[in-house]
Structure 1
Amino acid sequence: MKFFYTIFFLLLVSLSSQGQNIKVFSEHTKEPIFGVAIYNVDKSESVVTNFRGEADISNFTDTEIIYFKHLSHVLKKITKLQLGNSNRLYLNSNTQGLEEIVISASKFEQNKKDIPQRIVSINGASIHFSNPQTSADLLENTGKVFIQKSQLGGGSPMIRGFSTNRLLITVDGVRMNNAIFRGGNLQNVIAIDPFSVQNTEVTLGSGSVIYGSDAIGGVMSFYTQEPKLSYSDSLLFTSNIITRYSSASNEKTGHFDFNLGYKKWAFVTNGSYTNFGDLKMGKNGPSDYLRTEFVSITNAGDVITENEDPLVQRFSGYDQLNMMQKVRYEPHENLIFDLGLYYTKTSDIPRYDRLIRYRDDTLLSAEWNYGPQEWFMSNLQVTKLSSNSNLYDKIKTTLAYQNFKESRITRDFQSTARSIREEAVDAYSFNLDLEKRLTSRTQFFYGLEYIYNKVMSHGREEDISSNISTPSVSRYPNGSSWQSAAIYSSIKYKPNSKFVFQSGLRYNLVVSKADFKENNVFLNLPFETSENNAGALTGTAGIRWSPNNTIQWKFNASTAFRAPNIDDIGKVFDSEPGSVVVPNDNLRHEYAYGGELGVKLDFDKKVVLDMSTYYTYLDNALVRRDYNLNGETEIIYDGELSNVQAIQNASKAWIYGFEVGLKAAITNQIYLTSQYSVLGGTEEEDDIEVPIRHVAPNFGNTHLVWTSKDLKLDMFANYNNELSFNQLAPSEAEKDYIYALDANGDPYSPSWYTLNFRTQYQISNSTSLTASLENITDQRYKTYSSGIAAAGRNFILSLKYSL
């Protein structure tokens, strides 16, 4: 009997103790909040929530006011009596607070409002709600980045008139751009798993001082899930399981991640698999986009087959696998070791825009696939957050290795010759970034960087009837290298809360080496080796001035550069039907000069208007132009007489634009957001000014959002202006097979709009449902320069379960 009294007493104590504990959740995400400061009026009692959002409040009295404070949430005041028997408390998100801290501007945390440049921040809750299918779609959902797609397995960002190798991608601070990033459309961004992304920052405009070559038009910085420690002897275990279905492509996705957190060690494991079927376009739009027929590969040979449903874009489906493993070790409070391993692999990705080309009224290609695309990265970072050193207060060292593999497999209709070209890049990088507070008003950032890329490239022709392979010209000179060494510094001066000045300088030396002996067997180039040296000094200076709480001015001037890479110097490929690009060893770096002026009007956070205008001049622009090889303007390439072209410093470009964003709080639960981008620009071609290829049409979106405790609704529209035939760049006008035709039979990019609806319902603390109906009116359209039509009416359903 005594035993039962003891058990009963212990149970009462346990229940009493449970009543003295509280768990704090985000009202928006329903996830526990770490680091909530809980205190009374005189702060004689205070505790902080752990990674489970838990804290013991037994030391507070029942009637005293208890404060719950967190940087990214609204301060809450409540008594234990008001809490009653509930051990759960929900805090409302402070949207402005969530966007205050950015990393990409200096590699260390800074207050966003101090940065003279415009940076778009996307947090985890926004990513979860927008439910993007790829990281390209994640960027597109910002309304600030335009996405081009040549195929379903694609997504080439355009920012302020720049694209591809004039934009920089980083993952957890490591540069993703490599020596074969091309000037044509790129799909490398889709290698980043959107389920693994914790937050994203998009820098609009030059980032060359911090990031070097390629960061002319902007920087897209992806930060993935961080391992969470328990900081105690008990295990912190969290997990998420997500499934998603999309009707337009019959997409089926599965994702899992889990975190194991100990006192000093933490591990996070992340995996996703997606199967995309053939994408179905909308019913209402230009008939030019319909897929009326396709090539079937049979035992009897290639056959033209009528498409039973011309809205289905045969062949466009593919699969993708993403895996990530990260480890964190904190031996001391301010010393952190982070190891990240990332792996992505796709199936063959059909290049849809090449599969719809015709020659003499017959489909040109029986096969045109990107072979399996693979990306592996290992990333070791060591961060020390406080120091008594005279040289730095914070220091971060990053060592990374990446391996990229890609290939192209092509065969013409009824041809027995299959062309296969395979490439691989080994990329090594070292970064040392430091921060030092010189005075209470002045911070100094500086660092150095070294990058080395090695390119392997092979080509072969395969006879599908005999299975005999013979060597052929490779896409790049095999064994070529690209290396970059740089030193940079940046200073921030903030004399008061109203004014900030930031400035920086970077010197970068880039050396490319290539050996063309293997390809000279096929091309007979006038040179066998090439060495290209490009040194560039870039700088930036900007101010942020807030004379009062209503208005904020930003001004920034900068220079940027892009050094020729192996793709520019040594590439051999068919740029378009009837043309072939050949190597050019006489290239210099291109250089950009830019300025931006922005103003933000904040009317008591009820209405916020954000506007900016910018201008960029690009000198010595690297562009594709007609060329001659040993005096010949045409050569035979892949069995076709082709016009000879090469990348050359043959142009200047002028790009300008205006961006406006609006956020209006209609009620406490309803708000409106809208943004619109106006772009323009020209470049020199044959001594005349012509439109620039990567200047997108004017575009924007508008969202009307309603939120409650467990439900969020979003009704939104996306829209895009027309580009007439006269507004198309010459290289785009030649690709009439991807465009609609106007009344004169000339290609053009029609305007379009979509109406959409998205909702998210928190079923329980552990389960949430996200559903979207996109393109409700079933429009048939293509985003500018895209080879594949966008999805028609599309139902997307996603279920998330968290532990």
Structure 2
Amino acid sequence: MRNKMKFIAIVMLVAAGKTYAQTDTAAKSLEEVVVTASRTEQKEKAIPYTVNTIKRNELNRFQPRTTPEALMGVTGVFVQKTNHGGGSAFLRGLTGNQTLILVDGIRLNNSTFRYGPNQYLNTIDAYSIQQIEVVKGTGSVQYGTDALGGVIQVLTKEPQFRNVNSSKKVSGIVAGKLMTAGMEHTGRAEVKYSGDRFAAAAGFTVRNFGNVLGGDTTGFQTPSGYRELAYDVKLKFLLKQNVELIAAQQLLRQSHVPVYHKVRLENFLLNEMDPQQRMLNYAKLRIKNANPFVQLIDVTVSHQQSIEGRNSQKNGSTVLRKEKDEVNTAGLTVDIRSAITKNWTASSGIDIYFDKVNSTRTDVNTVTQNKTMLRGLYPDAATYGNYSVFTLHQYQLKKVTVNAGLRFNQFDIHITDTSIGKTQIKPSALVANAGVVYAVTKQHHFFATFSNSYRAPNVDDMGTLGIVDFRYEVPAYNLLPERSHNYELGYKLRTAKLNVTVAAYYMQLQQLITRVRVPNETINGYNVYVKENTDEAFVKGLEIDADAELTKGLNIQAGIAYAYGHNSTRNEPLRRIPPTNGRVRTTYSLQHWFFAAESWFASKQNRLAQGDKDDNRIPKGGTTGFSIYNLYAGWQLKNIRVQASVQNLLNADYRTHGSGMNGYGRSAWLNIQFTL
């Protein structure tokens, strides 16, 4: 069945290309996508690398539970879930601190982001999102450290000034969502105000997730449920005709988020995150100028706070371990857009971020209530300075568009450890990219690109002391930046009825920071590991993506991604490489109705590194493949919208590779929204 589905996807892509590539006579139906992947708004077809976009309309229709789950099935993106409150996106075989996440252009990544899967993408409320852009294989020149695999840019909803043809200033929505077996109860409320010189938007979300019901042989996965509370506020001021100010605050807090596989497989009575919280405050000043050399200036100041509390207790133990990590990040970005000539535009500026890390641990005797204060997971009061300057250029000459850029990044990392004293390192990186798009016609575009990226060692790399996943880590202070060189060739077809992208890539990885086992050492039954710049590796792959309007109202999307990763140093597969995977989705819209059916599939992954074989989240022999079938329907009339879905129609028992729990079994959800 899995091979059959992959074959069907490829056949549909090829057939659609033959059917629609010859003509573009119909009125434009597929929207021309404009993205911010290169820090400036550009038409996607003029960018020399692959960008996938998820817009608000798709989020409204398919109602993904979380931001990570919104990315499931996006071509070239594979989502691992250590627990129900997590979700880590793999881009070009990399995830965690080797991919960069941005919220409204501001870095979500901080100096405690760890290697391998993490849960931080799930601290962005899916209801607050206007658009998600996924950039694969590039990003360090555009946005800085961590973008080895690529960038996920999340753009949140923005209020709009009143339209001259509209008299309505205040509007809002109230929505509720229920899922069978008590797996979800969600409420969302939004209000918007649109004035001539002032606009505002605010939203509030409250959610209660029950334990996940797996497929035909799994049953309820207990404990996996948790609670969530979020709000977002954004204000927009027109100070002058060409001067805008945006001020925003976002907060998401999750409570008692269990780590299911720890309880199930590692003899824990309790293992949870409480709280898991992110707060972002920022102000952006945008100045438009008639001077071509300074056409637009964006200045953004931000403060972001990340709090992660962890509670754990082993079965039969009287010790409750309570850990808390808090990272406060101050940010300043300045971006200047220029039109140097008629065909030559540029974006140049600075990015400054400064982290302060506070980390504590308290062991509580549950019998006597005595408390013992110990070193936290990270060195307390560690600081991490991230300073860079960049310049990005686009030049168009007839049928050829050239993109090129350069960034210099300097870091200043201070760590005071209780065991080895003060440590300071100042790594730096200079990276460049260059790409060419050749437009054979208005519909057919070929592109080639080269980019090098880097990831500077962070506080998690250097200062971790304690249990992480299934190992015990000790600090390392002599690390260098990881580096990558990415080569990509591709083709883009853009017509009124069909969009197709085909991309082949090869990425070299150097100076990889990897966990190396310390021989013959264990602590509390866990093998001891330390991080070192030991490995070199490569990832190569192929991605095919298509979006076609077959007839009026009937749309089909199909995509498939293949990746092969190899660790050259160890002569074994690269860890956690996703299996071949993809999605086929057909949507039919008719007046007030829409219907959709999709299949999301992945093949077996049995190419395992030794670290995969040691990971208790991966079954012996590898992760089995799966094909999941989902149905959707929706109805909208005036002020009411109703949507419903049946998930995993055949009740298959499945797990995405590397995950700590299985996916949903057969289930259904209902969402009702009222517009005020």
TM-score where L is the length of structure 1: 0.79
1:582 maps onto 2:480 in alignment: no
Task: Give the match for residue 213 of structure 2.
Answer: 280
Separation of aligned partners in 1, 2:392 and 2:548: 35
Q: SS at the partner of 1:694? A: coil
Separation of aligned partners in 1, 2:457 and 2:467: 20
Separation of aligned partners in 2, 1:661 and 1:235: 40
Q: Once the 2 structures are TM-superposed, how far is the Cα of residue 547 of structure 1 from its aligned partner?
A: 1.0
The answer to whether the Cα contact below 8 Å between 1:235 and 1:262 also exists between their aligned partners in 2 is no
Task: Give the match for residue 689 of structure 1.
Answer: 571
Q: 1:62-91 deviations in whole A, cap 9, x for unaligned? A: xxxxxxxxxxxx999xxxxxxxxxxxxxxx
Q: Which has the higher contact order (CA 8 A, sep 6+)?
A: 2
Task: Give the match for residue 295 of structure 2.
Answer: 393
Q: SS at the partner of 2:212? A: coil
1:201 maps onto 2:133 in alignment: yes
Task: Give the match for residue 328 of structure 1.
Answer: 236
Separation of aligned partners in 2, 1:665 and 1:114: 22
Letter in 2 for 1:159: L
1:658 maps onto 2:542 in alignment: yes
Q: 1:327-350 deviations in whole A, cap 9, x for unaligned? A: 110022221100001111111101
Which of 498, 507, 513 is matched with 1:616 structurally? 507
The answer to whether the Cα contact below 8 Å between 2:75 and 2:545 also exists between their aligned partners in 1 is no
The answer to whether the Cα contact below 8 Å between 1:540 and 1:558 also exists between their aligned partners in 2 is yes
Task: Give the match for residue 43 of structure 1.
Answer: none
Which of 711, 720, 735 is matched with 2:615 structurally? 735
Separation of aligned partners in 2, 1:618 and 1:276: 39
User: Which ranges in structure 1 are unaligned for 5 or more consecutive residues?
Assistant: 1-73, 77-91, 285-289, 291-310, 359-363, 521-526, 741-745
Letter in 2 for 1:184: G
Separation of aligned partners in 2, 1:374 and 1:343: 7
User: Which ranges in structure 2 are unaligned for 5 or more consecutive residues?
Assistant: 1-23
Q: Once the 2 structures are TM-superposed, how far is the Cα of residue 94 of structure 1 from its aligned partner?
A: 3.6
The answer to whether the Cα contact below 8 Å between 2:86 and 2:118 also exists between their aligned partners in 1 is yes
Which of 177, 180, 183 is matched with 1:250 structurally? 183
Separation of aligned partners in 2, 1:93 and 1:801: 31
Change beyond 3 A, Cα 1:605–1:565? same
Which of 602, 612, 632 is matched with 1:758 structurally? 632
Separation of aligned partners in 2, 1:607 and 1:142: 17
CA root-mean-square deviation? 1.9
Which of 661, 665, 670 is matched with 2:554 structurally? 670
* 1:142-291 to 2 correspondences below 5 Å: 142-230=74-162, 236-283=169-216, 290=218
Separation of aligned partners in 1, 2:182 and 2:336: 46
Letter in 2 for 1:96: E
* 1:531-680 to 2 correspondences below 5 Å: 531-577=424-470, 579-602=471-494, 605-627=496-518, 633-636=520-523, 640-680=524-564
Which of 311, 318, 336 is matched with 2:226 structurally? 318
Separation of aligned partners in 2, 1:155 and 1:142: 14
Separation of aligned partners in 1, 2:28 and 2:189: 26
Task: Give the match for residue 130 of structure 1.
Answer: 62
Separation of aligned partners in 2, 1:651 and 1:248: 46
Q: Once the 2 structures are TM-superposed, how far is the Cα of residue 234 of structure 1 from its aligned partner?
A: 5.8
Which of 263, 274, 278 is matched with 1:355 structurally? 263
The answer to whether the Cα contact below 8 Å between 1:409 and 1:420 also exists between their aligned partners in 2 is yes
Separation of aligned partners in 2, 1:113 and 1:608: 10
Q: Once the 2 structures are TM-superposed, how far is the Cα of residue 235 of structure 1 from its aligned partner?
A: 5.8
1:475 maps onto 2:369 in alignment: no
Q: 1:8-50 deviations in whole A, cap 9, x for unaligned? A: xxxxxxxxxxxxxxxxxxxxxxxxxxxxxxxxxxxxxxxxxxx
Q: SS at the partner of 2:31? A: helix
Separation of aligned partners in 1, 2:114 and 2:645: 35
Q: Once the 2 structures are TM-superposed, how far is the Cα of residue 449 of structure 1 from its aligned partner?
A: 1.1
Letter in 2 for 1:375: R
Which of 320, 339, 344 is matched with 2:252 structurally? 344
Task: Give the match for residue 31 of structure 2.
Answer: 96
Q: 1:374-419 deviations in whole A, cap 9, x for unaligned? A: 111111000012332x641111000000111112111110110111
Q: Once the 2 structures are TM-superposed, how far is the Cα of residue 237 of structure 1 from its aligned partner?
A: 1.0
Q: Once the 2 structures are TM-superposed, how far is the Cα of residue 643 of structure 1 from its aligned partner?
A: 2.6
Separation of aligned partners in 1, 2:73 and 2:674: 24
Separation of aligned partners in 2, 1:712 and 1:386: 44
Change beyond 3 A, Cα 1:646–1:786? same
1:720 maps onto 2:602 in alignment: yes
Separation of aligned partners in 2, 1:710 and 1:467: 61
Task: Give the match for residue 116 of structure 1.
Answer: 48
Q: Once the 2 structures are TM-superposed, how far is the Cα of residue 512 of structure 1 from its aligned partner?
A: 1.1
Separation of aligned partners in 2, 1:483 and 1:456: 15
Q: Once the 2 structures are TM-superposed, how far is the Cα of residue 669 of structure 1 from its aligned partner?
A: 2.4
Task: Give the match for residue 139 of structure 1.
Answer: 71
Task: Give the match for residue 422 of structure 2.
Answer: 529
Task: Give the match for residue 662 of structure 2.
Answer: 789
Pair member with larger Rg: 1
* 1:13-24 to 2 correspondences below 5 Å: none
The answer to whether the Cα contact below 8 Å between 2:209 and 2:226 also exists between their aligned partners in 1 is yes
Separation of aligned partners in 2, 1:387 and 1:117: 31
Which of 686, 701, 726 is matched with 2:583 structurally? 701
1:510 maps onto 2:400 in alignment: no
1:366 maps onto 2:269 in alignment: yes
**Higher mean Cα deviation, 175-184 or 225-234?**
225-234
Q: SS at the partner of 2:213? A: coil
